[in-house]
Amino acid sequence: MYPLRRNRRLRTNAAIRHLVRETIITPSDFLVPLFVVEGKGVKQEITSMPAYYRLSLDYLEKEVKELWEMGLCAVLLFVKVPDNLKDNEGTEALNKDGLMQRAIKTIKNVCPEMLVMTDVALDPYSSFGHDGIVEDGKILNDETSEVLAEMSVSHALAGADFVAPSDMMDGRILTIREALEDEGYIDTGIMSYSAKYASAFYGPFRDALDSAPGFGDKKTYQMDAANRFEAIKETEMDIDEGADIVMVKPGLCYLDIVREIKNEVDVPVAVYQVSGEYAMLKAAAEKGWLDHDAVMMEQLLAIKRAGANIIASYFAKDAVKLMG
């Protein structure tokens, strides 16, 4: 009862505020998404993602060393596939000398302890820009899962520590887990994009990889933004099928889902603060309308406070630099 309880006592100065702070962000919270392209000496800024780049393997090498020195110890790889290598079945995804496979080896070569996670989905490889094989305008589920399983084995063979299926086909976690076990990759983990919503926030990412769907949208496989119970069901099923880490994506608009899943499950929960979230803040800051660093840290803190054990974020480097 007031004045026995004056909550402001715990806010009097920085020292007491630090002492009672409930949520702290550290470099080891982050998973750093990286975009890889063919070529040499290529560092292309992504138009809708200011200060974020597509990197050729030589630049990837430099970037990874820098990340490691900053205490950023986990990366999530995406590749931009040349148009002439795209087809409906994602054939190039299984090429053992493909860009993803070479990127994994490049990183493991210069920084063996860096945790390498790889995106597993067909969209960067698909001539239709969809996450699965297309037939008569539909995305085939089980046929796609088979390819994803082969793709996962190929990444494991190249040296990936974790595969991260981002496609939302039903049953793919089990198909992938069984394939990895059969091939002896018992230690290769799976981070499942388990509650991935059909979101308009992915726009800049699709620019980065030139992977926008050629027809329709992704609503027959990614989740409806209106749904909450379904996110829990999706997540529990993925855990039953063998997911080691689950994910909610996008981040900020879905923190209610993050908390609910965190309360429900006993595996680590990752949150993906996606490209559109990054672009919004960069744009507002460029106009001088928001304080970039302050808003960035507030958003990252909110994600962690909501229950994220792992934050995939394009702000990882900016945030760590700010931590000093």
List residues with catalytic annotation. Answer: 196, 249
CB of 80 to ligand PBG, least distance (A): 12
| CB-nearer residue toward ligand PBG: 81 or 121 | 121
Alpha helix (H) residue ranges in the chain: 14-19, 57-69, 99-110, 141-158, 172-182, 203-209, 229-241, 255-264, 275-286, 292-306, 316-323
Q: Does 197 bind ligand PBG (CB under 6 A)?
A: no
Question: Which residues in the 125-144 window bind ligand PBG by CB under 6 A?
Answer: 131
143: Cβ contacts below 8 Å, ≥ 6 apart = 132, 133
Place of tokens 């989740």: 223
Q: Does 202 bind ligand PBG (CB under 6 A)?
A: yes
Q: x/- contact string, 212-231, with ligand PBG (CB under 6 A)?
A: ------x-------------
CB of 299 to ligand PBG, least distance (A): 14
Find out whether 226 and 253 touch, Cβ atoms under 8 Å.
no
The two structure tokens encoding residue 40: 């040499």
| Alpha-carbon distances of 257 from 201, 230, 304, 313, rounded to whole Å | 17, 10, 13, 18
Candidates 62-70, 200-208, 238-246, 290-298; binding stretch for ligand PBG (CB under 6 A): 200-208
Candidates 101-109, 170-178, 202-210, 280-288; binding stretch for ligand PBG (CB under 6 A): 202-210
Candidates 35-43, 80-88, 199-207, 258-266; binding stretch for ligand PBG (CB under 6 A): 199-207
* b/e map 137-146, b = 16+ CB within 10 Å: eebbbeebbb
Question: Which residues in the 86-105 window bind ligand PBG by CB under 6 A?
Answer: none
Q: What is the amino acid identity at position 29? A: D
Binding site for ligand PBG (CB under 6 A): 119, 121, 123, 131, 166-167, 202, 205-206, 218, 274-275
